[in-house]
């Protein structure tokens, strides 16, 4: 049976946040559920987390939970009724709500804006420019028409405004997520590696080892990309705000650049935003959307993410099905065995993947405590599936974001290679003809240090 290698993340919302829908989405192929902390309260999120765990346990499925915190997203505030804007219209943006003017959740930005600065609304779909600045307000001219709603996001592609990545609400959300045991935390509007360090400090104080996913959606994040990747556990190409900030025509090449940099570093990378937007109201995607998914797969993404498509769309199951089918078709043309030059720490994962090109085997199995060995087997993109053994319970659900991983099992203790393999085959319920075993941390329990073994279970019975 062909194995799907790219992982699927689905956002839960009114269209899908029920026990039956979650079960159906797991059956359809979802690996991770995203909870958007821009919406709902803690009681609702707590109930959702417990429902996911309950359904996953019932199904015997390894399912991750991604907490996506808001960050300092600037939004339209106090707009009582939708505002239909046409090209050429003038609108007033004020620090304080007033008749005929709108304001923002961060009104102080008016002080930093100057004539000719651009302001984009709703992920860049409504574009305006500052034409006049007064004491407490500015006047904007509309260049692309559209309907503006209260709560819509605001982007400032050229203005040099520095907002902290973590707000007071974000800090509270991180502590809540830590208490509820989420597996991943997505940090919005990361500007530099300092934002990741701050988030990790909060998580550590809250006794959480959740993996941090840095969302790349600011121009400053592109400038600090290497340091952000180094400091993060995973990265997300957040194409909505990234397109508004950097320009939509740059997004395709930025996506390729970010994915390649993450692949080279051995860090999981997620491609997100508008993958199947037409399926909000249609049971069928456009050809362009399917091509977009295929290109993300061929670029080397570890995971693809659905947002509104599963949260509020009319066809969440159909959207996941399209993802699965497109990934399966695309990975048949995927260029396996990535030609990255390994560094010393990657020598054994790299050796295992190189041996897999020659030796008959069913899969590569990584023994790991932190996930490093697993991620760096994945880095070199073997064609056959990847299995994982770990004594670390909290790592199990984190492997749901790693490209190519099929099965993860927990083995707490063993004293010999035979005991390890016997327990692994029993837990994984598999009978391979042969497989490769690469040991990372705890490798000394098998030999003097790390190793790569070629194991044929039939040989051990002789």
**What are the DSSP calls for 196-234, one per residue?**
HHHHHHHHHHTT--PEEEEEE-SHHHHHTHHHHHHH-SE
Active site residues: 34, 75, 215, 273
**DSSP 3-state of 147:** strand
Joined together, the tokens standing for residue 418 give: 């035979």
pLDDT of residue 444: 56
* pLDDT of residue 462 exceeding 60: no
pLDDT of residue 107: 86
pTM: 0.92
pLDDT of residue 343: 94
Joined together, the tokens standing for residue 282 give: 């249609």
DSSP 8-state symbol, 66? E
pLDDT one-digit tens code per residue, 2-61: 899 999 999 999 999 999 999 999 999 999 999 999 889 999 999 999 999 999 999 999
The total of other beta-carbon atoms located within 10 Å of residue 5's CB is 24
pLDDT of residue 442: 66
The pLDDT mean for the chain works out to 93
Least confident range of 8-17, 67-76, 185-194, 343-352: 67-76
Q: How far is residue 332's CA from residue 321's CA, in Å, rounded to a whole number?
A: 17
The answer to whether 49 and 65 have CB atoms below 8 angstroms apart is: yes
Among candidates 231, 203, 216, which has minimal Cα distance to 67? 203
* pLDDT of residue 129 exceeding 90: yes
Q: Taking the chain, what is the end-to-end CA distance rounded to the nearest angstrom? A: 29
3-state DSSP percent of the chain in helix, strand and coil, to 5: 40, 25, 40
pLDDT of residue 136: 84
Backbone angles phi, psi at 456, to 5 degrees: -115, 110
Q: What DSSP string runs through 13-63?
A: STTT-SHHHHHHHHHHT--EEEEETTSS-HHHHHHHHHHHHHHHHHHT---
Backbone angles phi, psi at 110, to 5 degrees: -60, -35
> Which residues, 6+ apart, have CB-to-CB distance to 206 below 8 Å?
174, 175, 178, 179
pLDDT one-digit tens code per residue, 441-453: 665 566 546 889 9
CA torsion sign, 429 to 324 to 222 to 105? negative
Q: How far is residue 127's CA from residue 139's CA, in Å, rounded to a whole number?
A: 13
DSSP 8-state symbol, 210? P
pLDDT one-digit tens code per residue, 63-109: 999 999 998 888 888 788 888 999 999 999 998 877 778 899 888 88
The answer to whether 215 and 198 have CB atoms below 8 angstroms apart is: no
Structural domains of the chain ordered from first start: 7-71+164-331 (3.20.20.60), 76-155 (2.40.33.10), 344-460 (3.40.1380.20)
pLDDT of residue 24: 98
Structure confidence at residue 414 as a pLDDT band (50, 70, 90): confident
Angstrom distances, CA of residue 307 to CA of 10, 16, 241? 6, 11, 14
At which residue do the structure tokens 């003038």 appear?
90
Joined together, the tokens standing for residue 3 give: 């194995």
pLDDT one-digit tens code per residue, 371-401: 999 999 999 999 999 999 999 999 999 999 9
pLDDT one-digit tens code per residue, 309-325: 999 999 999 999 999 99
pLDDT of residue 450: 83
pLDDT one-digit tens code per residue, 230-266: 999 999 999 988 988 888 899 999 999 999 999 999 9
Beta strands in 58-117 (DSSP E): 64-68, 76-77, 83-85, 90-94, 101-104
Of 416 and 259, the structure prediction assigns the larger pLDDT to 259
């Amino acid at each position: 049976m062909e194995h799907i290698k790219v992982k699927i993340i689905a956002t839960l919302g009114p269209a899908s946040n029920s026990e039956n829908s979650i079960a159906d989405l797991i059956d359809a192929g979802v690996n991770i559920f995203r909870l958007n902390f821009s919406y709902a309260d803690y009681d609702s999120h707590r109930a959702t987390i417990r429902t996911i765990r309950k359904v996953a346990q019932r199904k015997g499925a390894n399912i991750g939970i991604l907490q996506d915190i808001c960050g300092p997203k600037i939004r339209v505030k106090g707009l009582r009724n939708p505002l239909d804007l046409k090209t050429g219209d003038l609108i007033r943006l004020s620090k304080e709500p007033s008749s005929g003017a709108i304001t923002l959740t961060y009104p102080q930005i008016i002080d930093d804006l100057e004539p000719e600065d651009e302001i984009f609304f709703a992920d860049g779909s409504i574009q305006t420019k500052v034409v006049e600045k007064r004491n407490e307000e500015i006047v904007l001219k509309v260049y692309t028409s559209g309907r503006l709603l209260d709560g819509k996001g605001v982007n400032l592609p050229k203005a040099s405004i520095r907002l902290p990545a973590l707000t007071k609400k974000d800090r509270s959300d991180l502590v809540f997520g830590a208490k509820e045991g989420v597996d991943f935390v997505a940090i919005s509007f990361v500007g530099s590696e300092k934002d990741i360090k701050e988030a990790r400090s909060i998580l550590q104080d809250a006794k959480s080892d959740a993996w941090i996913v840095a969302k790349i959606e600011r121009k400053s994040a592109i400038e600090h990309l290497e340091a952000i990747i180094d400091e993060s556990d995973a990265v997300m190409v957040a194409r909505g705000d990234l397109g508004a900030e950097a320009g939509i025509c740059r997004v395709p090449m930025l996506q390729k650049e970010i994915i390649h940099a993450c692949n080279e570093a051995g860090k999981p990378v997620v491609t997100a935003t508008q993958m199947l937007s037409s399926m909000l109201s249609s049971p069928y995607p456009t050809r362009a959307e399917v091509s977009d998914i295929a290109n993300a797969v061929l670029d080397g993404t570890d995971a693809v993410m659905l947002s509104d498509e599963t949260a509020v769309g009319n066809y969440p199951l159909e959207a996941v099905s399209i993802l699965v089918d497109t990934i399966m078709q695309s990975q048949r043309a995927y260029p396996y065995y990535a030609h990255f030059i390994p560094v010393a720490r990657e020598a054994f994962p790299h050796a295992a993947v190189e041996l897999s090109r020659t030796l008959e085997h069913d899969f590569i199995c990584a023994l790991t405590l932190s996930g490093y060995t697993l991620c760096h087997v994945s880095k070199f993109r073997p064609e056959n599936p990847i299995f994982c053994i770990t004594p670390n319970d909290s790592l199990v659900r984190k492997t749901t974001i790693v490209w190519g991983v099929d099965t993860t099992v927990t083995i707490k203790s063993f004293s010999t290679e035979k005991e390890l393999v016997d327990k692994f085959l029993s837990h994984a319920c598999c009978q391979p003809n042969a497989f490769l075993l690469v040991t990372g941390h705890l490798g000394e329990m098998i030999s003097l240090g790390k190793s790569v073994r070629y194991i044929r279970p039939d040989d051990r019975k002789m």
